Structure 1
Amino acid sequence: MFFQTAGIEVSPWIPPIVAFVISFFTSMGGVSGAFLLLPFQMTFLGYTTPSVSATNQLFNVVAIPSGVYRYFREGRMVWPLTAIVIAGTLPGVFIGAIVRVAWLPDSRHFKLFAALVLLYIGAKMVRELLGRNAGRGAQADSEKRFQEMVRRHRSKAGRVQAADKSDIKPIQVTHFNLKRLGYTFYDQSFDVSFWGIFSLSLIVGVVGGIYGIGGGSIIAPFFVTFFGLPVYTVAGAALMGTFVTSVAGVVFYQAIAPFYPAMSVAPDWMLGLLFGAGGMAGMYLGARCQKFVPAAKIKWMLAVILVFTALKYVANFFGY
């Protein structure tokens, strides 16, 4: 099947299957999988024009709602955190889209930028996993408590559905204003700076707008590593923030396309919808299974993939 906007030919069953596999695992870490889908499109499909960033964001728009719905059902959405993320990333994604089209249209330079983004995320995750943030005992305790609660319900009821009922609602917001956000996660308290989250979200929005990922894959590791928030509570907020900014990104890329007639800028709608269909199923199942998978394993999986992909792009840039 030929995709005209992307300028590539690929069997129609490949995009949804690839997106399903990627999203199933990455959604467990609170990210949509777009940060890995873009390297797949560039490396294996040969899709490197600026419109690949818009197509990647279209994938987010279609795929993310199923994962957010799952986290919402289980009472694991920190809505004030989500609101701050959206407020910060929205203006950033518009700036990023302009930077991508005006200064990074060349695929070689864009791949180097992508490599630096991926390498930075991966390195931060590896550092945290190797124990440099071992002092964050509240995070570890809350995650263990969540695992124990789920196991207790499974053994008591004899089925997974028991873990979805009313008493698996571990998050309670304690305060939220223009200075601080606080909430509890199974009796463990967390308190973060409003403006710290907002500033990070703005920077992430710019990077995400350039790369075409909405920013969730960057912001989720930051929440865990620098703010000490448990991965089980940031996943839903990161996904929801990515969804809203991706909608804005797709609309913006489509709107500016007429101003760049010699360049492919608008998303490839058919390709994006095929990716999104697979991602939708993968995210829903990934969000459902996340609570049964140890957080460390999720982080290690994402970190290894990130670092490997980044090093491959750096090697290609220098001709190796």
Structure 2
Amino acid sequence: MEWTVWAGLAAGLLIAVVTAPVGVSGAVFLLPVHLSVFGVPSPAITPTNLLFNVVAGPGALWRYRRDGALRGGLARRLVVGTLPGVVLGAAIRVFALPGPGVFRLLIAILLLPLGLWLCVRTLAPARHRPDAAAEPSPAALTALALGVGVIGGIYGIGGGSLLGPVLAARGLPMTRVAPAALAATFATSVVGATVYAVLSLLSSGDVAPDWWLGLSCGVGGLVGGYLGARLQPRLPENVLRLLLGILATSVGGMYALQALT
């Protein structure tokens, strides 16, 4: 157990430092580590990821709040939309998608388009990018957040890793997108982890989280998220987005091959 705790701490810290500046908790990249390195069974891997978000989230959020980046209604609208979605997603994950083969395919379906989108958006010349768009309507934001909440509940990522790229592509600046996406991730992860705890009482499978691993990764993410949020104004945004895109594409491709073989 000792090596697992220290390895989880290091993994959570390193991933959160890189992902927090762009509004991603890091759980989207930590999940394959849980699956392949630590051997967390399915579907327990999803609440373990949510537990990471719950523990790690306050680090970056506290820093963003201190800098005044959480002001405005964007975070509130995203939270309102994602909360019911994550409850539905958790139920789907436990009762309809328990198999590891389906789970690997789901990872690939989510990460491949996300990674390619990030890479293309980052590498596209500025003259080919659309001008900054107006913020989506409240109804559109709620619908988007609801759909992302369902996916996040199934996948255990809270939804911020999907909300961030979508909103950034709409022209919203990362200084607004990152804090709001992380706030939605944190809120939905709290609800999602609670739902999984309840569902673990109704299911005979591995539904409860791996507490030691989730907590150790979360503590690392707590520190890493704070550092990442603090470094956001000093880090090249395009480099971070490209790095996230490459990571997502690589991980998605690996699991696509595993799922199809």
Q: CA deviation at 1:137?
A: 4.5
Q: Deviations over 1:134-166 (max 9, x none)?
A: 344448xxxxxxxxxxxxxxxxxxxxxxxxxxx
Match of 2:239 in 1: 297
Match of 1:76 in 2: 69
For residue 236 of structure 1, the aligned residue among 147, 169, 179 is 179
Match of 2:138 in 1: 194
Q: CA deviation at 1:132?
A: 7.3
- Does the CA contact (< 8 Å) of 1:29 and 1:220 recur in 2? yes
* Runs of 4+ more than 4 Å apart: none
Q: CA deviation at 1:119?
A: 0.9
Q: For the residues of structure 2 that align with 1:219 and 1:78, how far apart are their CA atoms?
A: 18
- Does the CA contact (< 8 Å) of 2:158 and 2:189 recur in 1? yes
What amino acid is aligned across from residue 89 of structure 2 in structure 1? G
What amino acid is aligned across from residue 119 of structure 1 in structure 2? L
For residue 223 of structure 1, the aligned residue among 144, 147, 167 is 167
Q: For the residues of structure 2 that align with 1:21 and 1:14, how far apart are their CA atoms?
A: 11
Work out whether 1:27 is the aligned partner of 2:10: no
Q: For the residues of structure 1 that align with 2:125 and 2:32, how far apart are their CA atoms?
A: 29
Match of 1:210 in 2: 154
Q: CA deviation at 1:318?
A: 2.0
For residue 315 of structure 1, the aligned residue among 251, 254, 257 is 257
Q: For the residues of structure 1 that align with 2:181 and 2:143, how far apart are their CA atoms?
A: 15
Q: Secondary structure at the match of 1:13?
A: helix
TM-score, normalised by the number of residues in structure 1? 0.78
Match of 1:178 in 2: none
What amino acid is aligned across from residue 35 of structure 2 in structure 1? M
- 1:257-272 alignment, distance < 5 Å: 257-261=200-204, 263-272=205-214
Q: Percent identity?
A: 39
Match of 1:109 in 2: 102
Q: Secondary structure at the match of 1:101?
A: helix
For residue 288 of structure 1, the aligned residue among 230, 246, 249 is 230
Q: CA deviation at 1:49?
A: 1.5
Work out whether 1:122 is the aligned partner of 2:115: yes
For residue 189 of structure 2, the aligned residue among 223, 239, 246 is 246
For residue 94 of structure 1, the aligned residue among 78, 84, 87 is 87
What amino acid is aligned across from residue 11 of structure 2 in structure 1? V
Match of 1:273 in 2: 215
Work out whether 1:50 is the aligned partner of 2:43: yes
Aligned pair in 2 of structure 1 residues 303, 78: CA closer, same or farther (>3 Å)? farther
TM-score, normalised by the number of residues in structure 2? 0.95
- Does the CA contact (< 8 Å) of 1:78 and 1:237 recur in 2? no
What amino acid is aligned across from residue 66 of structure 1 in structure 2? G
Q: Larger Cα Rg: Structure 1 or Structure 2?
A: 1
Q: CA deviation at 1:205?
A: 0.2
- 1:125-204 alignment, distance < 5 Å: 125-131=118-124, 134-138=128-132, 190-204=134-148
- Does the CA contact (< 8 Å) of 2:35 and 2:41 recur in 1? yes
What amino acid is aligned across from residue 16 of structure 1 in structure 2? L
- Does the CA contact (< 8 Å) of 2:101 and 2:259 recur in 1? yes
Q: Structure 2 unaligned runs (5+)?
A: none
Q: For the residues of structure 1 that align with 2:80 and 2:239, how far apart are their CA atoms?
A: 31
Name the structure with the higher strand share.
1
Q: Structure 1 unaligned runs (5+)?
A: 3-9, 140-189
Name the structure with the higher helix share.
2
- Does the CA contact (< 8 Å) of 1:204 and 1:215 recur in 2? yes
- Does the CA contact (< 8 Å) of 2:107 and 2:252 recur in 1? yes
Aligned-pair RMSD on alpha carbons?
A: 1.6
